[in-house]
Structures are given as structure tokens and as C-alpha cells.
Structure 1
Amino acid sequence: MSTENNNNGASTNGASLPEEGKRKEFGLSTFSINNRISVLVLLVLIAIMGIVSYLTIPKESFPSINIPNIFVVTIYPGVSPEDMESLVTRKLEDELSNISDIKNMTSSSAEGYSNINLEFEPSVDIEDALQKVREKVDLAKPELPEDAEEPTVQEINLSEFPIMNVNLSGEYDEVILKEIAEDLQDKIEAIPSVLGVDLTGGTERDVQVDVDLAKMKYYNIAFGDIIQAISNENVTIPGGDISVGTKKFLLRIPGQYEDTKLLEDIVIKGENRSPIYVRDVAKVTFGFKERATYSELDDAPVITLGIKKRTGENILDTGNEVKAILDEAIPTLPPTTRYAITNDQSVDVINMVTNLENNIISGLILVVGVLLFFLGVRNSSFVGISIPMSMFLSFIILSALGITMNMIVLFSLILSLGMLVDNAIVVVENIYRYLEEGYERFEAAKKGTGEVAVPIIAGTFTTIAAFAPMIFWPGIVGQFMSYLPKTLIITLASSLFVGLVINPVICALFMTVEGQEAEAKLTPKG
């Protein structure tokens, strides 16, 4: 009787153990352990692709965002602010106010200057808004004064801000320095990743024609006649091409004058076979244009080249190419030519990237060092491996989504470092506990991971849920800051994948309990 009862009891316990073991296992982790060779191959691929993504992902100072502001600027030299308001600003505002989706419109009028700021709703396509504004400005042009400059329509684009300033100086004439700066400007603009180069400071030569009004009246000549005559003569005309044998030569007729005497000999018009020259009514001299921009460094005049980078290009590569051109050009310039680089944003990015690398290495050392006292050298390294693997996987995803390595992303990666090891610590420690209880390594990995899988998934998604609302933050600030939650969500999801897929396989293959010797063999099933 008792034997029967014992058999029944044994049968009941035997049936409950498999159910308990099955209940504790997590399907994804069990699948990865059973296919461990595939997971090891995946680990190597993630490491290689992560390194490649990290090296190739574009690095820049700030994320590229669309700022829904458009400016309409009109120049009318010599006009008072009151007249600018009545003659220009209000007439433009009357047309622009009919555009839909405008959130706010403000204007300011100064002497010879009108500026209208149109703020659109964040959801508006900025290109469509630009087109609508240009159409309304075209409708208002007939009502504007004829001698006012044509209104310019422009948007705010972060790529229009220079990533560095190159300041040139030399102990010689500023005209020569300006020519050197223009040559460097052409060379730097030839770099594919450079959007453009703004040149400020220095003086520019021009031709000054001083007209004698009395002589103009005597010869019955108008200002337009002089302007037309000089414009027609001072031009280079392309002459097509000519083929000679197997060679083709381009022809051009140079007509741009560099001598005042040649300009004075231009015929304005001829009456009764007696030509009237420019010298008969005016005096031609070479002078300098009125300075439009000033640039100084350390209280000394310089010419500044503001280098602008194309959107999505690597700021570090662009900066290095610019510096290479400068280092190559300086030895060929006059001996006193010097340059100084200011506002170099690539230096800030390099510092942030270096801080990220140092934090990854420091975090790896500290994690392994702390766990060394509890799990031993080998087992603590299983947790440490989760940091670089999570980062590599994050780099791959960031690159695939087209997210650049900017200040916000770098800050988010550094911020997430402390959270990357949480899942791995829980998984590795629980697997180690099962090994201490005498379970075989593969069984310990399956049960140890399965027992804590749901809690760490819930914990990870709780953290993700805390940051997720920031993605929907409206406005310009929301666009700018959205990269922080996106990056944190990607890194936390990557650490969860590493904790549930890669860490269990590594532990199943190599984890040991101190004082015990065991070996794991790769079976054909793996």
C-alpha cells in the first residue's frame, strides 16, 4: 500500500519538474542557446558592422532640424525707417498675410532696411512655405519703389552656420591678402563636403568714374549712355571653338579692362563723325569699394573664411581636409602669411567622441572590477562584454536610421552607459546561481535567463516608457531634443537583446563555478 503511495508520489514529482523547467525557460533565449554557433557568428558580425558604422557614421556638432521660420529682407539705401515701413514693409505684409499656416508674422524697419519674419506651424513643409512666400513677394514687387533692391527670401538652416573660421593675416597690402583669401576660398569650396565659404573683411578694388555734369550737358549725354558704353565694352565674349586636326581649341575675346586709359578711350557715341569718349566727360580711376564687412582677431585686421559643411557630411573629415589644404598652401604664399582657426566645431565633436570612448573603457573596467569579487575574472567579463556589444548594435541601428553622431546623440550614449549592464548583471548572476546549485551549464543558462526574462523586459520597457513621450515634444526644441529619447531607446533595446540572446550563449559555453571544472561542447545542433 505504501509502495503504491510512494510510486504515485514519485510519479507526481517527476511530472512537475519538467513543467517547472519549461515554465522558467524563455523562448528566445532557449532558441539562441540551442543555435549557439549561429549566435556566435551573429556576435562577430555585430562587432565588425558596429566598428564600421562607428567609423563611417557622419559626425557633426548639432542635429539637422527644420526651423519653420522664413525671412523676407529688402534693402533700400538712404531711406528713413518711417519710409521703409510705409513704402516697403507694409506692402509686403499685405500680400504675405494671405498665406495660410502662418503662426506669427513680425517685422522691423530700419534705415534702408526692412525685415519680415514669418513663423510657420512646425508641421508645415518648409519647401512649400518658401515657394508660397516667393509667390507673394513677386505679387508685391510692382508696388515697391523701383530703386529698391529686390527682396530676398531665405530660411534658417543650421548648415548655413560655419563649422570653423580661418583667419588670414599678413604684413602686406590688404588687396593682395584679399586675392590670396579668394584663391583659398576656391580651393576649399572644391571639397565635396563643403557647402560654401563666406569671405568677410578686407578691401575690394573697383572702378570709379567721376562725371563732369557740365560736360555731360554740353555733349548732351546722359548717365545711362556712359553706363551702357562701359558695360558693352568691359566684357569677355566666348568665341566658340575651332578644330585643327585632332585637336579642338576654345576661343574667347577678352574685353575686361585692367587699365584706366583703356576705359577712358571707350566711345560713348559719335555725332557728325566726331566720337565722344569717356575721357571727354569723366575721369576714370581705380579705387576701393566701401567696406561692407570687418573682421579682426586680437585687435588686428584679418580676412576670415567661414567654412560651411553640407548636411549629413562628417565634420571631422571636412575639418581635416580644410586643414590639409591650408598646410599645403601656406608654404607657397608670401613669408609673413599666417592663419588662425577659430570656432572650430570639429574640436568639440572630437572631445565628445573621446569622452564616449573613455567612458566605455572606464565602464568596462569598473564593471569587471566590481563583479570580480562576486563572480571571478571569467564570469565578470561576461557582463563586461555587454557594454561594447550593446554599443556596436546601437551604432548599426543609428547608422541605418540615418541619425548622425551629433552632440545630443553623443550625450545620450554617455548617459545610457550606466544602464547597459543592468540586464546583463541580472542574467549572468542568475545563471551563476543555477550553476552553483548543480545544474548543467546549458540547462542553467536556459533556466537562469528564463526566470528573470520577464522582469528585465518589464524593467527595460518601463525605462523606455519614461523617455518615449519626449519624442512627441512639439516645436523646434522638440525636434532638437527628440534625438535624446531616440538614442536612449535604441541603446536600451540593444542591451535587452544582448542580455537575452548573447549573454546566455556566452555563459552556457564558458561560465564555470569556482572550484568546479566543466566543459561545454559545441554540438552539431548548435
Structure 2
Amino acid sequence: MTEPVEEAVGVVRNLRKLKSISRTGQSDVVLEFAWGTNMDQASLEVRDKMEALSLPLETKPPVLLRFNPSTEPIMRLALSPKQAPASDNDAIRQLTGLRRYADEDLKKKLEPVAGVAAVKVGGGLEDEIQVDIDQQKLAQLNLPIDNVITRLKEENVNISGGRLEEGSQRYLVRTVNQFADLDEIRNMLVTTQSSSGSAAEAAMQQMYAIAASTGSQAALAAAAEVQSTSSASSSSIAGGMPVRLKDVAEVRQGYKEREAIIRLGGKEAVELAIYKEGDANTVSTAAALRKRLEQLKATVPGDVEITTIEDQSHFIEHAISDVKKDAVIGGVLAILIIFLFLRDGWSTFVISLSLPVSIITTFFFMGQLGLSLNVMSLGGLALATGLVVDDSIVVLESIAKARERGLSVLDAAIAGTREVSMAVMASTLTTIAVFLPLVFVEGIAGQLFRDQALTVAIAIAISLVVSMTLIPMLSSLKGAPPMAFPDEPSHPQWQPQQRWLKPVAAGRRGAGASVRYAFFAVAWAVVKLWRGIARVVSPVMRKASDLAMAPYGRAERGYLAMLPAALRRPGLVLGLAAAAFIGTVLLVPMLGADLIPQLAQDRFEMTVKLPSGTPLAQTDALVRELQLAHDKDPGIASLYGVSGSGTRLDANPTESGENIGKLTVVMAGGGSRKWKRRPPGGCAAAWSGIRARRWILRARHCSVSPRRWKWSCAGRTWASWNVPGRSWRRCCGPMATTPTSSRRWKRASRKSRSVSIRNAPLRWG
């Protein structure tokens, strides 16, 4: 069935890549489109192609799913019993109760939270009414099994029946006929058997045979009753014998076949995967969920424990907090360096004001453009911290030069700003021209750097305006402005008219004077405080400035000494520059390429892929063994295992099935721990991954020699796990010559980046 589907959808426009996975009873076809494709239009085209496709009658209608980043749950909760089960029946009761509480209670209370799109429940034992039909009894009654299935569907309905209008009122009608309990299902009438002539005798014989085989007194009584009434010409059921479901089937309470087994710390649990809406904010949605869970604590049963396994908002909040802290530190260091070079408190204060003014104004334009405070936008602000003060430094330096030429404060502010205005504007526009094109880049790179590029461009553009307006105004406040007025009025003809306006002007001056005096008093206090701090700190900062400037002085003297020699040998200088350029170009291929750098988090995930066809119980046994082996490790906060794929929205078709097991390891203390014997680089997660590797090999019957590796595996098994910055993959398979193969490993030095663990080294990268 996969081939006709591929042929049908392979002609859709902008299709870039097509991949299919075929397995028993299911075919998954993955379509990848070119970047910038209208996915709504592409979905309609694919749907039209699938509707025109002729598939076998027994095939279910195809399901079209669009990939969305919101298919990754923002929060995962685990429901686990506080007490370990005493027996198998107790374990079944606990898992059934947990699943029922998650489906019927907790899920319905979490879905109305703002921003939540869906809550998927996995693990545990899901309730199911099982009807085991006896084929032999159906054959005795000459009753097809389809009739039983049809009767079950007809008797268990809840559908709309339309509308009724009576006057001005309109009523909605529903047909509700659902089963209430097991007895109602057992007593459901399947059919009636004729009781006339030979058919009645055959029916009586069948009824007695069924009653004798089951030993049911009720069936014997029913057969006797039918026999006593069969001679009459009329009966309550028109001469027919009722056949109920309990006569041909066994109805019992059970649970569905398990698709996934969830374990937390070695104990089975029930998972609630919470998905957000496409346009919802992850941090605000997670905060609302945490608040709702706090409110539900009082209603949680006493024997149930709710544990938050994963919360994406924590990583986002920590990342944003780190970027904010780095931006503040960068701003403080920028101000400190400015003071070291300028050695003037007022000039440093003026330039420092341009930093918060530019950043705060940038927030306004970010809101107008729909940008959020994320890691990339905050990274752009941190990057712009050093750039926004450049224009202010140039303008203030030009004003200072104008003052040195003997101009007044106001004239120096105007002349100094005018002299460098074009140069500052050209420099700012050049920097903006570097970042702004990133906004129009297509693909994943454009999505990653759009917020950062816009933030930097906006901040730099605002810094240009600040340097041309705010900096000259503040620089003019340092000296006393000319406040003297001429003795004679400029316009004596207006004196008579001004006399009667003086009382009105005096009232207005009195009302505004208090506001002006208060403002200038606060400004005067701030300036005096800043100057007082500068007087105290200046001696220390001057010493630090002298020490910091000493290398620059030596570099300046060396440069002046070398410059004449370089000018006399231009060929040598150009040759060295060309050699440096060629060497740099040759080093570029050695740098490597990656989309984003590895992120060091407090957790890592191990994935175990067993041979295809491995039952779910065997996969769960391996995951459970790994959890129990490391459950008491002081460096591990929690272990969360998933065997199988279940019904999660983020299940990958290429990595799903009963033979897939995943184990999430959450490190204690944020993943930092001082190990007695740790790998080079000090990665505690790497050490745990190495230990887990040994347990996987042992669990798959792979023996490990103290001095060498010895693998003896019955089937091909891949074990891989991903650690931030580290990765291992090992394959144990059947050996070609001998059932046991060995390879001697030599202890290597630290320089070769290998680590020896219990005399069995493992090379890592």
C-alpha cells in the first residue's frame, strides 16, 4: 500500500523529500516541503491526492498529520502510587485506579487551563469491557458473529436526533442508549430463534445442549419455559426463543493491550503529557499549570503522588535569566571601561545614560513588531550593549574638543555634534547593514537570527538618535549657561501691553516654579551624589587605569618604532598579510560545522533499540533493570523510563514500537558533581552514560572482561544514548567466526582523550 501512496503524493508542488516506513498493519509516509511553502495549501493538495487514491476496502481512511513544534509536550507529569504493591492483583488495582483518575478527573481539570491544547494520558491499565464470543455456540445456533457485533453497536449509541420546533422554542433531540453496567451487556438480546415445527425442535435441542455444556440452571429453566409455551399458537415473543449475549459469550471487565509502559524510579506510573496551543507562550502556560496543580493538591487521593518529570519553562526561564545577567554584567563592564579611558565622572555618567535609554526604547519597538523576550532577542540586546555607546563616545569626544577650542558650552555642544554627525550616521548605518539582511534569510537560520538581528538593528538606530539629541543636551549641563539679560528691553513698544500681563504671568510662574525647583533639586542631588562617589573612587580607578593603560602605552611605542621599518619594506608587509590570509582560509575547513552548539543541561536521554519484534515486556525488563541499577546513585535525581511509543503526539514513526526503550536521567545539582573517578573534562553526565553502557551490555548478555571487552550476543542490538556534548554508539552483534570476540585495550594518556573505568577503557569524543 505504500507504493501507490508515494506515487499519488509525489507530484505535489514544492515537495522536497519523501520518506516512507512500512510495517505490519501500518504505513507512514513523511513529506518534506521546501522552505516557505504554504503548508495550508500543501495540506489541501495532499488531501485531494489521497481522496482520489483507490485503496483496498479493508484499509482505514488515511490520517494526515502536520508537523508542529507544539507537538512536543511543554510539561510531563507522572502519577505513581506512594506504596509498593503487595501482590500482582494489588498492582493491577493500583495501575487501573491511576489511569482512571488521570483520564476521568485530572485530565479534565487541566485541559481548561489557558494555553493548553491537549492532555495525553499514557501508561497504566486502561479500562476495557471484553466480550469473548464462543464460536462453537454460535455455530450451534447458526448465528453469524457479524450479527453479534451489529447488535452491540445498535444497543450502545449516543447520537444526535435532530431538532424539534414548538412555537418559538427549539429543542435538540439526542438518542441515548448506552450500557450502564456489565449485567445490562450480558442480558442484551442478540436474536430470537423460531419455535415452530422442526425448527422449534432443533432450537430446543440447541438450547438444551448449550445449557448442558454450561451447566447453567437459568439456561435449563429458559429451555423448559420455551418448551412449555411452544405448543401454544401465540406467545409473548411471537413464538421465538430469545438468545442473549451471555448465552453465547463471556462479558468481563478487563484492560486494553498495553502500548507503552511508564516507569519512574523503577515503579510503574501513569504519564500526563501536556501540549500547548500553537500561539501560546510556554512560560505563561507552564506557570498557569503549576498554579492549577497547587490548587488540586487538596483533591488528590492520599495514595497518589504527582511528580513533575519535565517542564520546558524552567529551561527557558534559566536561559533568559542567564542572558539578562550577562547583559547587565556587560553593561557594567562597558561603563567601567569608559571610565578607565575617560577618567571623568560626568562624561561617564552622560554616556552611561544612553545605555538604558536605548535598551528601554528598544523594548517598545520590539512590542510593536511582535518580538518576544527570548534567548535570541536578549542575546541581541547583550550584543548591542557595547555598540549603543559607541556613537555617544564619539559625539561626547567631539564636544570636548570643541570646548578645548574655547567655545561656550552651548556652542560646543552644537558644533561638536555637527562635526561628527555624518561620520556617526555612516558608521551606524554600516553596522545596521550588516545585521538587517539576516531578517530576510530563509530557512531555519532566518528563524533563529531574525529576532536577534532586528533587536540589534533597532538598538543601534535608537543609539544614533540618542547620541544626536540626549548627549549634546546633557553635555551642556556641565557648565553654567549664559543667564545675563540686557539692561534695556529689546522691544520698548511692547512695555505698556506687558504691564497688565505681569500678574497673570506671575501666577503661572509661581505654579510652574515649584515643579521646576523639585525637578532640579532631584537632578542636583543625583549629580552631587555621583560626583561624591567619583571623588572617593577616582584615586583607586586612576591607579587601575594606569595599570590597564600601561600595555597600550608599550604597544604604542613599539608601533611607532616599527612603523618606519615597515614603510621601507612594503613588499615584506604585503607578503606577511597574504600569508596570514591564506593560512586563515586553509584553517576554515578544520573548524567543523554544526547548526547550534551543544547545550549542557541537567539531564540526558538514553535510547535502547532492541531487535524488531521484541515484545513490550522484554523491553520494559531492560529499562527496569537500568533504573534499579542506578536508582540509589547520589548523583542522579530521578530516572524516568518509557518502553514503547504509546499515543503521544510527539512519537516519531521512525523510532516507535515495542522494541524501543528510552531512559531520561536527571542529574542532581544541575549535572555538576565531583566524581572520584571522572572522565577528562569533568562531565558527570558522561560518567553516568559510561556506567549505563556497561549495564546495557550486561542486560543483553554481553560479558565484560576485567582486562578486555568480550561480547557474546545472540541477536543484533544497538544501544545509543545522547549526552549534551558527548555521544556513544555501540553495536553488539553475532560474530562471524567465534561466539566470543575480544580486543585488547591499552590504557591511554589524558592527551588521547580516553578514560579507564574498572580497567576497561572506553574511548569517548
TM-score (norm 2): 0.52
Q: Distance in 2 between matches of 1:90 and 1:520?
A: 90
Structure 1 range deviating more: 104-113 or 321-330:
104-113
Q: Distance in 2 between matches of 1:127 and 1:249?
A: 37
Q: Distance in 2 between matches of 1:458 and 1:207?
A: 77
Among residues 249, 259, 265, which one is paired with 1:298 in the alignment?
265
Q: Distance in 2 between matches of 1:132 and 1:210?
A: 44
User: Over residues 22-73 of structure 1, what are the superposed CA-to-partner deviations in whole Å (9 max), with x where a residue is unaligned?
Assistant: xxxxxxxxxxxxxxxxxxxxxxxxxxxxxxxxxxxxxxxxxxxxxxxxxxxx
User: Over residues 452-506 of structure 1, what are the superposed CA-to-partner deviations in whole Å (9 max), with x where a residue is unaligned?
Assistant: 2222222222222223443343333433333332332222222223222333333
Structure 1 range deviating more: 173-182 or 436-445:
436-445
AA matched with 2:16: K
Listed as ranges, the matches of 1:132-281 within 5 Å are 132-140=45-53, 142=54, 144-171=55-82, 173-182=94-103, 183-236=105-158, 255-272=177-194, 273-281=240-248
Structure 1 range deviating more: 288-297 or 163-172:
163-172
Q: Secondary structure at the match of 1:173?
A: helix
> Which residue does 1:31 correspond to in 2?
none
Q: 1:177 to 1:439 in 2, by over 3 A?
A: farther
Q: Distance in 2 between matches of 1:409 and 1:340?
A: 33
Q: Secondary structure at the match of 1:295?
A: strand
Q: Post-superposition shift, 1:251?
A: 9.0
Q: Secondary structure at the match of 2:261?
A: coil
Q: Is the 8 A contact 2:361 2:462 kept in 1?
A: yes
> Which residue does 2:419 correspond to in 1?
451
Q: 1:474 to 1:347 in 2, by over 3 A?
A: same
Q: Post-superposition shift, 1:241?
A: 11
> Which residue does 1:103 correspond to in 2?
16
2:84 is the counterpart of 1:117:
no
Q: 1:312 to 1:390 in 2, by over 3 A?
A: farther
> Which residue does 1:76 correspond to in 2?
none
Listed as ranges, the matches of 1:14-93 within 5 Å are 88-93=1-6
2:343 is the counterpart of 1:337:
no
Query: Which is greater in Rg?
Result: 2
Q: Post-superposition shift, 1:236?
A: 4.2
Q: 1:334 to 1:507 in 2, by over 3 A?
A: same
Q: 1:477 to 1:359 in 2, by over 3 A?
A: closer
Q: Distance in 1 between matches of 2:16 and 2:126?
A: 42
Q: 1:345 to 1:448 in 2, by over 3 A?
A: farther
AA matched with 1:483: D
Q: Is the 8 A contact 1:428 1:504 kept in 2?
A: yes
Q: Is the 8 A contact 1:360 1:388 kept in 2?
A: no
Structure 1 range deviating more: 300-309 or 126-135:
300-309
User: Over residues 308-363 of structure 1, what are the superposed CA-to-partner deviations in whole Å (9 max), with x where a residue is unaligned?
Assistant: 22233332221111001111112211223222223322112222332343234333
> Which residue does 2:384 correspond to in 1?
416
> Which residue does 2:444 correspond to in 1?
476
Q: 1:416 to 1:312 in 2, by over 3 A?
A: farther
Q: Post-superposition shift, 1:283?
A: 0.8
Q: Post-superposition shift, 1:389?
A: 1.8
Q: Is the 8 A contact 2:388 2:459 kept in 1?
A: yes
Q: Is the 8 A contact 1:207 1:284 kept in 2?
A: yes
Q: Is the 8 A contact 2:331 2:385 kept in 1?
A: no
Q: 1:457 to 1:122 in 2, by over 3 A?
A: same
Q: 1:122 to 1:108 in 2, by over 3 A?
A: same
> Which residue does 1:129 correspond to in 2?
42
Q: Is the 8 A contact 2:330 2:382 kept in 1?
A: no
Q: Distance in 2 between matches of 1:263 and 1:321?
A: 42
Q: Post-superposition shift, 1:134?
A: 0.8
Identical-pair percentage? 28
Q: Is the 8 A contact 1:95 1:136 kept in 2?
A: yes
Q: Post-superposition shift, 1:307?
A: 2.0
Unaligned runs of 5+ in 1: 1-87, 243-247
Q: Distance in 1 between matches of 2:18 and 2:172?
A: 53
* Higher helix fraction (1 or 2): 1
Structure 1 range deviating more: 285-294 or 469-478:
469-478
Q: Distance in 1 between matches of 2:145 and 2:256?
A: 20
Q: Distance in 1 between matches of 2:79 and 2:19?
A: 38
> Which residue does 1:25 correspond to in 2?
none
> Which residue does 1:500 correspond to in 2?
468
Q: Is the 8 A contact 2:320 2:374 kept in 1?
A: no
2:249 is the counterpart of 1:286:
no
> Which residue does 1:346 correspond to in 2?
313
Q: Which has the higher contact order (CA 8 A, sep 6+)?
A: 1
Q: Distance in 1 between matches of 2:270 and 2:425?
A: 58
RMSD, aligned α-carbons: 3.1
Q: Is the 8 A contact 1:368 1:377 kept in 2?
A: no
Q: Is the 8 A contact 2:327 2:381 kept in 1?
A: no
User: Over residues 348-386 of structure 1, what are the superposed CA-to-partner deviations in whole Å (9 max), with x where a residue is unaligned?
Assistant: 222233234323433343333333453533331221122
Q: Is the 8 A contact 1:441 1:520 kept in 2?
A: no
Q: Post-superposition shift, 1:254?
A: 5.8
> Which residue does 1:317 correspond to in 2?
284
Q: Size of the alignment, in residue pairs?
A: 426
User: Over residues 76-120 of structure 1, what are the superposed CA-to-partner deviations in whole Å (9 max), with x where a residue is unaligned?
Assistant: xxxxxxxxxxxx111111211232222222222223331212222
Q: 1:379 to 1:163 in 2, by over 3 A?
A: same
AA matched with 1:100: R
Q: 1:299 to 1:496 in 2, by over 3 A?
A: farther
Q: Distance in 1 between matches of 2:15 and 2:61?
A: 23
Among residues 330, 338, 341, which one is paired with 1:363 in the alignment?
330
